[in-house]
Amino acid sequence: MSFFNELNRRNVTRIAVAYGVAGWLLTEVASVVLPTFQAPGWVLQVLIALLIMGFPLALIFAWVYELTPEGLKKESEIQQDQSITSHTARKLNLVVIVLLVIAIGLIAFDRFIARDAPQPVADVNSVQQTQGDGAIPSVAVLAFQNMSTDAENEFFADGISEEILNLLADVSGLSVASRTSAFAFKSKSLPIPEIARALNVRYVLEGSVRKAGEQVRVTAQLIDADTDRHLWSETYDRALRDIFSIQDEIAAAIGQALQVRLLGDEGSEVKAEAIDPDVYTRFLEARYLLRRRGDADMQESNRLLIDVVAAEPGFARAHILLGEAYLLNTNEGALVEEKVGLALANMHASLARSLDPGLGGIDMILGNIANENNNPWAALQYFEQAIRLEPEEARPYHWRGMIYLSLGYRDRCIQDMEKTLELDPQNPNVHYAFANCLLMGAGDFDRAIELAARGPDLGNPGGYILTVVAEDLRGDRAAALGHLLHYLEEFGTQDEGYDALLAHWQGKDAGDPLTREQLDTANERILLFRGETEAVLQKLSQDGFQNSVIRDLWADRYSELRGDPRFVAELEAYGAFEVWRELGPPPGCQVSGESFSCQAQ
């Protein structure tokens, strides 16, 4: 008897077919059911891995054992005339047929019935009523779960959800939560209504992505957070080259569910930008790596983006992202010297402008470059243009507010930060910057402390130090000391000056002045804590303008320091005078001939 015939006689081939069909059915059902229960992506990955590992074991088991009326027995222990493998074969044939019928039925339902059937969309009148007269529907797009067997495809799942977010953000009739805030809930098992409240939205889009080679499956569902019910859901099984049509179809379905036409500010229809799928995949990976900020990640991101713009030189968003990468790489010192990085960032922003002048990201890059080059007035104009192009994008409000903070405009800073917090409520850096604004002038200490303390909860431990600043400015040294101790216990110290400050505040140094070496190495904020204002002015004169230092000096406590000509000289070097001439000098400062002065109070 041939080996193949022996496999058939022992029902090994039938077991293989039955196992394969059953495993496929189980995987398909799990890929639909697991996202409903917000199961993490690794659950499906583990299930598939177990099924793959179990396949050879099932074949070995079928070869070695035979099912008899007395139970399982080794095949070697059964006489040929006592074997009932033919009877077992008929049962297995029936099982395979049933499984195949179920599989064919499932495929047919998915391809021809479910796709054409009307989706469970809420009644149009009820949606319109709950939105209110003239109200714009608000939506958050959560990070889609990676359901691929390869965990490294997480960048693809994140990228697709962000692309859908960007597509919806271009629709003039929708208010879309920022990516930073929406993605802050990634991998957090929280009820949708709770997430919606935190993001100040009514509707939430969630989903999953599974990529296998050139095939992708995208599942998406739109949820009304007020009622916690699904307005719409769909699963797309397509080739990778169709990923852009999937994005368009999801956006169209959301527009239909919320009764919103997919039109941009110019009145044209909003559609996904289609490029070569392989290049697009590299773009998504580069963006994902850039946001991780690690040196190695940023270098790989740069390499990928250079490949992307070489392959698709007309892809404006890739030029913008590469410009951002060069700006970040100059800040982090990972790749290029600052002047080179700024020049390259400017070049790619200019190329993007020639390709698609309507992209607000161009002006955000140019605004940052202008600010780095000590031209805050030009930076303000660029950020203003970015806001006109993309009024729901939080970053230009944030960055403009930070410039106002450096220039002494407390009210303007607060106004921008209020808007930024509205658009990006889960961004820890926004809470930090807003708290800084509130400490200018007389200071709103209670709210500043509340915002600063919220920052660490969201991922920015610097909020602890800002709480120390707020308590110190308020005059509560005991509270400031307590926050400082907590910060040092939680995160340790990266600056030996904090040890000297701690000793000073605890009375262990009996008020001894800092040594020359300590003065040179201590950061300016620690010097301000100790009252070493002369040392701060000297360091500013030696080291040049520093935004982080100047921002602290707008507090009421340092009005005398602001009366020193060296303070105004630093702001002049930054380019503040041009802004002060256009907007008027900030409180406490005034025109002095052809120059300005700030009066000690």
Query: DSSP class of residue 150?
Result: S
> Do 46 and 167 fall into the same domain?
no
- Check which CATH number belongs to the domain holding 197 and give it: 3.40.50.10070
Q: Tell me which residue of 257, 249, 244 sits closest to 203, measured CA to CA.
A: 257
The answer to whether residue 206 sits within a structural domain is yes
The verdict on 137 and 211 lying in the same domain is yes
Structural domain contains residue 171 = yes
Residues 156 and 203 grouped into a single domain: yes
Q: Does 106 share its domain with 131?
A: no
Q: Structure pTM?
A: 0.75
297 in a structural domain? no
Do 136 and 257 fall into the same domain? yes
> In the predicted model, is pLDDT for residue 44 greater than 80?
no
Q: Beta strand pairing status for 229-239 and 589-592?
A: unpaired
DSSP 80: G
Whether 217 maps to a domain, the answer reads: yes
Out of 292-301, 495-504, 590-599, pick the least confident.
Answer: 495-504
Q: Are residues 105 and 152 in the same domain?
A: no
Tell which wins on pLDDT, 112 or 157.
157
- Which range, of 130-139, 342-351, 414-423, 561-570, averages the lowest pLDDT? 130-139
> In terms of DSSP bridges, do strands 65-68 and 71-74 run parallel, antiparallel, or are they unpaired?
antiparallel
Residue 403 lies in a domain: no
What is the per-residue pLDDT for 163? 93
Q: Out of 218, 250, 274, pick the residue that ends a domain.
A: 274
Query: Does some domain include residue 31?
Result: yes
pLDDT (tens digit per residue) in 303-354: 999 999 999 999 999 999 999 999 887 665 556 788 888 999 999 999 999 9
For the segment 418-460, what is each residue's pLDDT rounded down to a tens digit? 999 999 998 988 999 999 999 998 899 999 999 998 888 877 7
State pLDDT tens for residues 427-438.
988 999 999 999
Predicted pLDDT at 454? 87
The whole-number pLDDT of residue 127 equals: 44
Taking the C-alpha atoms of residue 486 and residue 491, their distance in angstroms, rounded to an integer, is 8
C-alpha span between 115 and 249 (Å, rounded): 12
**Stretch 256-279: mean pLDDT:** 83
Secondary structure (H, E, C), 32-62: HHHHHCCCCHHHHHHHHHHHHHHHHHHHHHH
| Max mean pLDDT range (22-31, 41-50, 114-123, 589-598) | 589-598
pLDDT of residue 207: 93
Angle at 442 between CA 597 and CA 463, to 5 degrees: 110
CA distances to 18, 29, 31, 497 from 54, rounded to whole Å, are 13, 19, 19, 60
- Write down the residue that tokens 């002045």 correspond to: 513
Residues 266 and 204 in one domain: yes
Residue type, position 204, single letter: V
- Is residue 17 one of the residues assigned to a domain? yes
73 shares its domain with 138: no
Report whether pLDDT(52) > 60.
yes
Q: Do 129 and 264 sit in the same domain of this protein?
A: yes
* Contact criterion met (CB below 8 Å) for 186 and 207: no
For residues 79 and 564, the model is more confident at 564
Same domain, residue pair 260 and 143: yes
Residue 185, domain extent: 124-274
Q: Which residue has the tokens 């496929």?
A: 24
Q: What per-residue string of b and e applies to 128-166 under the rule 16 or more CB within 10 Å gives b?
A: eeebeeeebbbbbbbbbbbbbbeeebbbbbbbbbbbbbb
Taking the CA of residue 53 as centre, how many other CA atoms within 13 Å lie in the half-sphere pointing to its CB? 6
Among 70, 88, 113, identify where a domain stops: 113
Q: Which residues contact 249 (CB under 8 A, 6 or more apart)?
A: 234, 236
Domain count across the chain: 2
Mean pLDDT value across the chain: 82
Q: 241 with 277: CB under 8 angstroms? A: yes
- The 10s digit of each residue's pLDDT in 484-508 is 888 888 776 656 667 777 777 877 6
More confident residue, 174 or 61: 174
Q: Is residue 307 part of a domain?
A: no
Residues 215 and 158 in one domain: yes
Shared domain for 41 and 80, answered yes or no, is: yes
- Identify the domain boundary among 274, 307, 325: 274
Of 31-35, 148-152, 512-516, 591-595, give the lowest mean pLDDT range: 31-35
Asked if the model's pLDDT at residue 59 lies above 80, the reply is no
